[in-house]
Chains A and B, each alone.
Chain A
Amino acid sequence: MRDIDLAVTSGEALAVVGASGSGKSTLLALLAGLDTPTSGSVRLDGVDLFALDEDQRAALRGRMLGFVFQSFQLLPALTALENVMLPLELTNVDDADARAREMLVRVGLGERLTHYPKHLSGGEQQRVALARAFVVRPKLLLADEPTGSLDAQSGSGVIDLLFGLNREYGTTLVLVTHDEALAARCARVVRLVAGRIAQ
């Protein structure tokens, strides 16, 4: 990536689009502090991510970030409910169970609490992933091709839910996609070409 100068304001919804290999995923990884740049900085709510060590960044992620991935990334050994409880348990929240249940009801999976990921459809799995992302009330939600593995119908259901929750919780959204129609639903679109911002 080169010459990236990007500011996202609180509550804003930003889409990052670009061809395969243009650097979309790398940008997302940098924003989340998953990858480190050779030079430059990322500030999240005023905190310089790369001034922190890996464990401090992990703690910061736990406090502020939610993730949605193309391949869902649910833990196969955990039920839907347990997958949603996971981030709460990791930060030692007391009423993890109740909050996770509430969130799953909110995404329409109140009847599927004890199902394992392999017994859920793709759309349902991504809704569990949404519940897991929002259950910690993140300030920033990073979504990487959230409909990439879904058919059109379940994809649009997931997206409606994503934007609905985003509005409801006032979350800042950075959404990586190659789907122009999806990008158009965001307030701002950034286009990447060969590692640079094109417009």
Chain B
Amino acid sequence: MRAAWRMLRRDWRAGELGVLAAALVIAVASVTSVGFFADRVGQALERDAHQLLGADLVLAADHPWQEAIAKQLRDSGVQTAEGVNFISMALRGAETQLAGVKAVSDNYPLRGRLRIAAVPGAADTPAERGPAPGTVWLEERLVSALQAPVGSTIRLGKSQLRVAAIITLEPERNANFFNIAPRLMMNVADVPATGLVQTGSRISYYLYAAGTPEQIAAAQTKLKPQLDRGERIDTLETGRPEVRNSVERARRFLALTALLAAVLAGVAIALGTRRFVERHLDGCAVMRCLGATQARLLMLHAGEFALLGLMACALGAAIGYAAQLGIGSALAELIRADLPPPTAWPALQGLLVGLVLLLGFALPPLLQLRNVPALRVIRRESGNLKGGAVAAYALGLALLALLLVWQAGDIKLGGYVVGGFAGAVLVFFAVAWAALTALSRVRSGSKALRYGFANLRRHARGNAVQVASLALGLTAVLLLTFTRNDLVDAWRRAAPPDAPNRFILGVQPDQLQPVQEFLRSHALGTPEFYPMVRGRLVAVNKQKVNEADYTEERARRLVEREFNLSFMDAPPAHNTISAGRWTPDGLSVEEGIAERLGWKLGDELVFNVGGETFGAPITSLRRVRWDSMKVNFFVIAPPAVLAKLPTSYISAFRVAPSGEAELRALAAQFPNLTLVDIAAMLRQIQAVTDQLVAAVQFIFLFALGAGLLVLYSALLATEDERRREAAVMRVYGASRAQVAGSQRVEFLSMGLLAGVLATLGAAIIGQILARRVFELTLPPSTMLLIAGPLAGLALLSLNAWLSSRKVLRASPALTLRESV
């Protein structure tokens, strides 16, 4: 080991290891930054688990619990509490704000504590029980939005309620990790008086239970078989699956992004090690001459790399630790929880990644050093490095693929990522190679062009690797900058200027005329109101529907939730029938959901609405433009069936900025209505997206760093050769300008190629995202088309400048003598 340490010091001093170390540091920093951050969030979830539920057991449903179940729970000897959650408008004077209402019984929470304060920012104190009847507690955000300090009175539905405290902490607050509407907590006894629980409202009902573990287990066993659709049991063990799932999804996404940097670093390590080995061939031959055995040589170099790896990994982990603070602050608005300091586990994970990269990408070329024949000291040509066969890196590639699959969490997603990545690399590489070869055939009068193009072919493989890796890194950057903005713009543009900007929900049948009259008399227009009935899909073609039958997450969610059904005599004017015919006795289904759930014309769907079931065949499919912001329905049923069921009305209309006062009057006159400001909602979604993007961009910085490192190491790899070529050219009379010119042509063609490839990659991915995910049309972006190739050109110009400076400064005589 001492000898290895000595070697390490000497090689480091000679500048042979800088690229390798930097690649390792970047890879480990990238992986550990995400690891540390995910670790902290995970610990916060774990820490709060005891009060996560506010109870030992929670029954949750999207409809009121049957008394029979509640009675069984009470009879089992456990303590119980109840809660109701819904979204509603809160009003105070001229201010209105959508609030996330949580109404709880007196004894809530059964486990954990609520914490409240009297003034925003003041020290909070634990509360013995929930809000008393007639009072509400508001989250600080809501206090400022409504300008409703403690002691003031706000209006919720038909009720006037006094603000009694500012709520700073509640159990189940992890549900707030990604919550948009600020919390309003009230007493459940006040809910009926608000008049907000009515037809068409989307409300969650909770029963909380606390008791001895035996009691809880018994209750759980007894109740589980009785659960119906839309009902579930949460325990400490299952936690709040939706929170855990979304955190886990975010972690996976970030981890995969981080591994992108690791993959690129692997390429840099492979290139760097190859150069290291090439430059050490002679030295090893000399050492063999001087009596070093093969085993000794291997031990020396393996030891040297192991020491380098350990130190680089430690530095990488330290940088990763610092970087996770950055991710944390990027997401600070989103994660409203104190995160505990991370454990050391992610550092070990980083070490593992570093080890994999080192083993997989440095060991294969290093092993060749051992086999250098001592004869090389006399015959230089013997024992030259074998070509960088892909097979030699099979171990590293396989290990990396395993890492990716592991981080992705399941084989399918991991497979997609590995496949997608490999596919992109191969396509980029193939296109780059083909283009470089084609370019090299170009005959030109200019000497610089001719030699430059000739160089392209001579270094075709190395150059293609450079172009492909640069294109990959650039694609990621372009996607995050231009394509993201283009998508947002396209989304904004997709809504016509006169598109509705307010939704009005929960209009009861007896309010329909007064509300329409109000809108008309206050110059808010005469929008169409659509009847809406909430129903659960129970069967398709006589087959009982089960969420578990659907693999796709979105499909599962669609089936699990209640559908908003409407009925009308003729199809909405803003929809077009794309298949089948509109009939008065059949269902008309939006074509997107039909495709997602695998429904065809003629399939019979059965819905359950408030205990009554009805079925009808699908007779038409409709094409819907969701971005029109008009009211649209997945399923429209025959009026004959639905008209007699409990109905509420929904509409969308446009309000000019000057119409805010009228809106407040509307909310004041019909306090049970929910008015949704679509623009504000979009702004909030945009703010959340921006934060997520900021965090992702942070990690992409590592990927970009790794990409540049690949570029640099690829340049270094060909530097000796370029220098020799330049020397030969100069010996035969080429001027410095000519040599520099030919190199410039070579680099600039590569930069342009990489830029074009990255632009195409970003544009294609953007189109796929636009069509498949966002259902938008994305016009080609001129900015992207200009900026992409320019970025490629700029990066390689810098490269060309750096390289030709070095190459030209070297004296040709010295260069040629060195390379004898």
- Per-residue 0/1 for A142-154: is the Cβ within 8 Å of any B Cβ (1 yes, 0 no)? 0010000100000
A89 near B: Cβ within 8 Å? Answer: yes
Question: Known: A28-B378, A71-B820, A149-B820. Is A76-B14 also a contact (CB below 8 A)?
Answer: yes
In the complex, the answer to whether A25 meets B378 with C-beta atoms within 8 Å is yes
Nearest A-chain residue to B289, judged by Cβ: A67
Please measure, in the bound complex, the distance between the C-alpha atom of A65 and the C-alpha atom of B373, giving whole angstroms: 17
Question: Known: A25-B378, A34-B378. Is A61-B295 also a contact (CB below 8 A)?
Answer: no
Report chain B residues within 8 Å CB of A144: 378
Binds A, one of B5-13, B111-119, B180-188, B775-783: B5-13
Report chain A residues within 8 Å CB of B290: 61-62, 67, 86-87, 90, 132, 136
In the complex, the answer to whether A75 meets B286 with C-beta atoms within 8 Å is yes
- Per-residue 0/1 for A47-64: is the Cβ within 8 Å of any B Cβ (1 yes, 0 no)? 000000011001111110
Among B291, B295, B375, which residue has its beta carbon within 8 angstroms of that of A90?
A: B291
- Per-residue 0/1 for B807-820: is the Cβ within 8 Å of any A Cβ (1 yes, 0 no)? 00000000001101
Report chain A residues within 8 Å CB of B13: 77
Q: Most chain-B Cβ atoms within 10 A of its Cβ — which of A34, A62, A144?
A: A34
Report chain A residues within 8 Å CB of B292: 58, 62, 90
- Per-residue 0/1 for B777-820: is the Cβ within 8 Å of any A Cβ (1 yes, 0 no)? 00000000000000000000000000000000000000001101
Question: Min CB distance, A141 to chain B, in Å?
Answer: 12
Nearest A-chain residue to B295, judged by Cβ: A55
B296 near A: Cβ within 8 Å? Answer: yes
In the complex, the answer to whether A69 meets B10 with C-beta atoms within 8 Å is no
Among B279, B286, B373, which residue has its beta carbon within 8 angstroms of that of A73?
A: B286
**Segment 352-392 of B: residues with Cβ below 8 Å from A:** 373-375, 377-380
B283 near A: Cβ within 8 Å? Answer: yes
Nearest B-chain residue to A79, judged by Cβ: B10
In the complex, the answer to whether A61 meets B289 with C-beta atoms within 8 Å is yes
Question: Known: A28-B378, A34-B377. Is A87-B14 also a contact (CB below 8 A)?
Answer: no
Please measure, in the bound complex, the distance between the C-alpha atom of A117 and the C-alpha atom of B59, giving whole angstroms: 79
Question: Known: A69-B378, A75-B286. Is A62-B291 also a contact (CB below 8 A)?
Answer: yes
Report chain B residues within 8 Å CB of A91: 291
Nearest A-chain residue to B296, judged by Cβ: A90
Question: Min CB distance, B231 to chain A, in Å?
Answer: 71
Report chain A residues within 8 Å CB of B374: 32, 34, 58, 61
A29 near B: Cβ within 8 Å? Answer: yes
Q: Is the interface of B mostly helix, strand, loop or mixed?
A: helix
Report chain A residues within 8 Å CB of B378: 25, 28-29, 34, 69, 144
Question: Min CB distance, B13 to chain A, in Å?
Answer: 7
B293 near A: Cβ within 8 Å? Answer: yes
**Segment 137-178 of A: residues with Cβ below 8 Å from B:** 144, 149
Among A35, A58, A63, A75, which residue has its beta carbon within 8 angstroms of that of B288?
A: A58
How many chain B residues touch the partner (CB < 8 A)? 32
A186 near B: Cβ within 8 Å? Answer: no
In the complex, the answer to whether B283 meets A75 with C-beta atoms within 8 Å is yes
In the complex, the answer to whether B373 meets A59 with C-beta atoms within 8 Å is no
In the complex, the answer to whether B293 meets A78 with C-beta atoms within 8 Å is no
Nearest A-chain residue to B374, judged by Cβ: A34
In the complex, the answer to whether B294 meets A54 with C-beta atoms within 8 Å is yes
Please measure, in the bound complex, the distance between the C-alpha atom of A71 and the C-alpha atom of B820, giving whole angstroms: 8
Please measure, in the bound complex, the distance between the C-alpha atom of A86 and the C-alpha atom of B379, giving whole angstroms: 22
B287 near A: Cβ within 8 Å? Answer: yes
Among B6, B14, B293, B379, which residue has its beta carbon within 8 angstroms of that of A58?
A: B293
In the complex, the answer to whether A25 meets B379 with C-beta atoms within 8 Å is yes
Report chain B residues within 8 Å CB of A29: 375, 378-379
B591 near A: Cβ within 8 Å? Answer: no
In the complex, the answer to whether A77 meets B293 with C-beta atoms within 8 Å is no
Question: Known: A34-B374, A34-B377. Is A82-B289 also a contact (CB below 8 A)?
Answer: no
In the complex, the answer to whether A77 meets B288 with C-beta atoms within 8 Å is no
Report chain B residues within 8 Å CB of A77: 10-11, 13-14, 16, 283
Report chain A residues within 8 Å CB of B283: 75-77
Please measure, in the bound complex, the distance between the C-alpha atom of A3 and the C-alpha atom of B5, giving whole angstroms: 48
Question: Min CB distance, B16 to chain A, in Å?
Answer: 6
Report chain A residues within 8 Å CB of B641: none
Please measure, in the bound complex, the distance between the C-alpha atom of A128 and the C-alpha atom of B204, giving whole angstroms: 85
Report chain A residues within 8 Å CB of B10: 77-78, 82
Nearest B-chain residue to A78, judged by Cβ: B10
Please measure, in the bound complex, the distance between the C-alpha atom of A62 and the C-alpha atom of B290, giving whole angstroms: 5
Among B279, B287, B373, which residue has its beta carbon within 8 angstroms of that of A34?
A: B373
Please measure, in the bound complex, the distance between the C-alpha atom of A35 and the C-alpha atom of B289, giving whole angstroms: 11
Nearest A-chain residue to B292, judged by Cβ: A90
Q: Most chain-A Cβ atoms within 10 A of its Cβ — which of B292, B373, B817?
A: B292
Q: Most chain-B Cβ atoms within 10 A of its Cβ — which of A35, A90, A132?
A: A90
**Segment 83-103 of A: residues with Cβ below 8 Å from B:** 86-87, 89-91
B3 near A: Cβ within 8 Å? Answer: yes
**Segment 5-40 of A: residues with Cβ below 8 Å from B:** 25, 28-29, 32, 34-35
Question: Min CB distance, A54 to chain B, in Å?
Answer: 7
B282 near A: Cβ within 8 Å? Answer: yes
In the complex, the answer to whether B295 meets A34 with C-beta atoms within 8 Å is no
Among B293, B377, B379, which residue has its beta carbon within 8 angstroms of that of A59?
A: B293
Q: Most chain-A Cβ atoms within 10 A of its Cβ — which of B13, B279, B289, B295?
A: B289
Among A55, A63, A71, A89, which residue has its beta carbon within 8 angstroms of that of B6?
A: A89
- Per-residue 0/1 for A114-145: is the Cβ within 8 Å of any B Cβ (1 yes, 0 no)? 00101000000000000010001000000010
In the complex, the answer to whether B287 meets A90 with C-beta atoms within 8 Å is yes
Nearest A-chain residue to B7, judged by Cβ: A77
In the complex, the answer to whether A34 meets B291 with C-beta atoms within 8 Å is no
Question: Min CB distance, A175 to chain B, in Å?
Answer: 14
Question: Min CB distance, A45 to chain B, in Å?
Answer: 15
Report chain A residues within 8 Å CB of B820: 71, 149
Please measure, in the bound complex, the distance between the C-alpha atom of A65 and the C-alpha atom of B3, giving whole angstroms: 22
Q: Most chain-A Cβ atoms within 10 A of its Cβ — which of B11, B285, B288, B290?
A: B290
Please measure, in the bound complex, the distance between the C-alpha atom of A62 and the C-alpha atom of B374, giving whole angstroms: 12
In the complex, the answer to whether A32 meets B16 with C-beta atoms within 8 Å is no
Nearest B-chain residue to A24, judged by Cβ: B378
Question: Min CB distance, A87 to chain B, in Å?
Answer: 4
In the complex, the answer to whether B293 meets A55 with C-beta atoms within 8 Å is yes
**Segment 1-47 of B: residues with Cβ below 8 Å from A:** 3, 6, 10-11, 13-14, 16
Report chain A residues within 8 Å CB of B282: 73, 75
Report chain B residues within 8 Å CB of A116: 14
Please measure, in the bound complex, the distance between the C-alpha atom of A28 and the C-alpha atom of B379, giving whole angstroms: 11
In the complex, the answer to whether B294 meets A34 with C-beta atoms within 8 Å is no
**Segment 287-312 of B: residues with Cβ below 8 Å from A:** 287-296
Question: Min CB distance, B368 to chain A, in Å?
Answer: 15
Please measure, in the bound complex, the distance between the C-alpha atom of A90 and the C-alpha atom of B7, giving whole angstroms: 12
Q: Most chain-A Cβ atoms within 10 A of its Cβ — which of B3, B11, B13, B375?
A: B375
Nearest B-chain residue to A74, judged by Cβ: B286
Report chain A residues within 8 Å CB of B818: 118
In the complex, the answer to whether A63 meets B291 with C-beta atoms within 8 Å is yes
Please measure, in the bound complex, the distance between the C-alpha atom of A75 and the C-alpha atom of B818, giving whole angstroms: 12
In the complex, the answer to whether A58 meets B291 with C-beta atoms within 8 Å is yes
- 28 A-B contact pairs sorted by A residue (CB < 8 Å): A29-B375, A32-B374, A34-B374, A35-B375, A55-B293, A55-B294, A59-B293, A60-B291, A61-B289, A62-B290, A62-B291, A62-B292, A65-B291, A67-B290, A67-B377, A71-B380, A73-B282, A73-B377, A75-B283, A76-B14, A76-B283, A87-B290, A87-B291, A89-B3, A90-B292, A91-B291, A136-B290, A144-B378
In the complex, besides A73-B282, A149-B820, 17 extra interface pairs with C-beta distance below 8 angstroms are A29-B375, A35-B375, A58-B291, A59-B293, A61-B374, A62-B290, A62-B291, A67-B286, A67-B377, A73-B286, A75-B283, A76-B14, A76-B279, A77-B10, A77-B13, A77-B14, A87-B290
Identify the A interface with B (CB < 8 A).
Answer: 25, 28-29, 32, 34-35, 54-55, 58-63, 65, 67, 69, 71, 73, 75-78, 82, 86-87, 89-91, 116, 118, 132, 136, 144, 149
Q: Give the 4 A-B residue pairs with the shortest CB-CB distance, closest first.
A: A62-B291, A77-B14, A55-B293, A87-B290
Identify the B interface with A (CB < 8 A).
Answer: 3, 6, 10-11, 13-14, 16, 279, 282-283, 285-296, 373-375, 377-380, 817-818, 820
